[in-house]
Structure 1
Amino acid sequence: MVNDISVCVAGLTKRYGERTVLDDVSLEIRRGGRTVVLGPNGAGKSTLLEIVSTLRTPTAGSVVVEGHDVVADARAARRLIGLAPQSNALDPLATPLEVLEFQGVVLGLGKRAARRRSGELVELFGLGERQDTRIAKLSGGTRRKVDLAVALVGKPSLIVLDEPTTGLDPLARIGFWAELKRLSSEGGPRTLLISTQDLHEAEVLATDIVVLREGGVVAHDSPDALKSRVGARILTLTLDTPESTHDLLDAAGAGFVAEPDQPTTVRLALPGDPAVLRAALDDIGAAASSVEELRLTGPSLDDVFAALATPTTPLEKEPA
């Protein structure tokens, strides 16, 4: 429904001379979701986010954020957007509190309101002990928290993050992911639009994924839906002896196959057919005394990304 859409992109094209960076991109971003944009280098991810954020103007097409065209009504759209760019642009000699108060004044809050809002964000992100420390002396994870806090000063309904955890250590990244998930679920519907090349980050954060290649959208769906389109779940059994494995393969009704070079391991692709699953359960039951390990695995976003790397991909077109 229209009321569920935060960002509507229609026929978006961006050219620099003869080079086309975005080519007739159309998509809708759900309000309250965490939409992650994936794609190889040069696919147009940053350009898409910059146009949505009113930092660049399109060659053709339109972007509407919460009912406001980002070109014709850029000022109104900008008030609804909080941007955390890939490169840290904070004044290294300022403190988090100073940066936040300055951003509030820039946004027209007035000094008193800016100070109050800054205090709220310092508390929200646990920056109290560092609020008067110069940015240059903060850790990368803390600086990234300040980046996000700055993006939230104006209480935006859309938060745009370009490569949000680049350069952070693993613990800082995990903490930052938790902050993003909390932000999207607290304080009313808040939409996150995130660009990343980290597939694990996408796996953790995304409720929706947009995949770009060569300036076009080749897939837009939930993570689970994309995974199901590139492969089936795999059921793997490890049995106690090669003889038990041979007996199972002889008697199996579900189409188990031997794993090369592993004489006690068999695998079965589960395409979603209930009859195949029932047959597999019957086979496992018959061989239960010989089964030492059972694993059920599914395709990952790595598989999705690999499938999209070649021109002849099953995700080339959205399903009808």
Structure 2
Amino acid sequence: MNNATTAATSTRTAAISALGLRKSYGDKVVLDGIDLRIPEGTVFALLGPNGAGKTTTVEILSTLIAADSGEAWIGGHDVTTDADSVRDQIGVTGQFAAVDGLLTAEENLLLMADLHHLGRGEGRRRAAELLERFELTEAARKNVATFSGGMRRKLDLAMTLVGRPRIIFLDEPTTGLDPRSRRVMWELIRNLVADQGVTIFLTTQYLEEADQLADRIAVLDHGKLVAEGTAEELKRLIPGGHVRLQFSDAAGLTEAASVFDVATRDDESLSLQIPNNGSIANLRALLAIIDSTGVRAESLTMHTPDLDDVFLTLTGRQNADAAPAAPAARKESNR
């Protein structure tokens, strides 16, 4: 996301906001004072290992359970004092498809229409519309017990949309799906936001899913938010970014290796790896060194940490205390 888009997003009205949410079960602290602000019409992804507090956060924000302390608002309504208004605006899709296998797809949708107090005609129109949108029309009269995992998840999301919610909580919505079904769900989620301006609160352990879908990502660990930002902002927090210079011969590689103090040389691939955090300032400094010293590289490629690196580092699975180093040239170089 570019700076202009980020600025526009930050000025939007908050669809979801929370301040100091805390929740414990006995001596176990599940949420330890988290703050959130999620603008309307965006996708927000909450990442974290098992037991980090993701589902508890969704349950509090969707009025299923109460926080021990703190405040939260959904569409401007307090989740504690105005829970009915909150429920009128939201839809929730849990980790496991909440569909009735003894009913057909159409019957499942009509049941949801009844629960939302839609008239008979309106309910049938809404069911037909959703069956078509989710490409389930041909399977409308089949028992859901015969559906694949991907079809069940699509129907589950369709049932969530019967009441036309403005804010949708998706708690690990693609768990157990094959890669193709997962990508179908991603496209459906993107379309909800792009076509209808729906706000999505997504929890997931699939880091590619957050990278593909989310405008902003937060990492939750041991009940605390340890980082928040766009995918690119989070990646820049983690050491391991580097620039790779590729050379056509060993002489060029040797000449470049004599210039940089903090480079890793690979003679087999004729390449030089130089630590760099991916910022414009660091890249500009590197290019200035290359230009001033006459280093003759065939190509230059940027490599930044991915969300796997972010997740593992921020949730304490590996130590990475040092910041990425800027490129440094040897002082004695007179090139």
Task: Check whether TM > 0.5.
Answer: yes
Correspondence for 2:116 among 107, 113, 116: 107
Match of 2:254 in 1: 246
Correspondence for 2:39 among 30, 43, 50: 30
- CA 1:238 to 1:2, structure 2 compared with 1: closer, same or farther past 3 Å? closer
Match of 1:172 in 2: 181
Match of 1:302 in 2: 308
Preserved contact between residue 256 and residue 266 of structure 1 (Cα < 8 Å): no
The answer to whether the aligner puts 1:47 opposite 2:53 as a matched pair is: no
TM-aligned CA deviation for residue 27 of structure 1 = 1.2
Preserved contact between residue 105 and residue 144 of structure 2 (Cα < 8 Å): yes
Distance 1:52 1:92 in 2: 28
The answer to whether the aligner puts 1:214 opposite 2:226 as a matched pair is: no
The answer to whether the aligner puts 1:264 opposite 2:270 as a matched pair is: yes
- CA 1:69 to 1:11, structure 2 compared with 1: closer, same or farther past 3 Å? same
Match of 1:162 in 2: 171
Preserved contact between residue 232 and residue 299 of structure 1 (Cα < 8 Å): yes
Match of 2:208 in 1: 200
Preserved contact between residue 114 and residue 123 of structure 2 (Cα < 8 Å): yes
- Matched residue of 2:107: which SS? helix
Correspondence for 2:291 among 282, 288, 296: 282
- Matched residue of 1:8: which SS? strand
- CA 1:68 to 1:118, structure 2 compared with 1: closer, same or farther past 3 Å? same
- Unmatched segments (≥5 aa) in structure 1: 316-320
1:124-163, aligned counterparts within 5 Å?
124-163=133-172
- CA 1:4 to 1:284, structure 2 compared with 1: closer, same or farther past 3 Å? farther
Correspondence for 1:90 among 78, 96, 99: 99
Distance 2:13 2:290 in 1: 41
Question: Which amino acid letter does the alignment assign opposite residue 111 of structure 2?
Answer: F
TM-aligned CA deviation for residue 6 of structure 1 = 0.4
Match of 1:318 in 2: none
- Unmatched segments (≥5 aa) in structure 2: 1-9, 323-335
Preserved contact between residue 32 and residue 191 of structure 1 (Cα < 8 Å): yes
Question: Which amino acid letter does the alignment assign opposite residue 212 of structure 2?
Answer: V
- Matched residue of 1:94: which SS? coil
Match of 2:73 in 1: 64
* Identity fraction in percent: 36
TM-aligned CA deviation for residue 88 of structure 1 = 1.6
Pairwise CA RMSD: 2.3
Q: How many residue pairs end up in the alignment?
A: 309
Distance 1:282 1:301 in 2: 32
Distance 1:119 1:151 in 2: 14
Distance 1:284 1:230 in 2: 29
TM-score w.r.t. length of structure 1: 0.89
Question: Which amino acid letter does the alignment assign opposite residue 276 of structure 2?
Answer: L
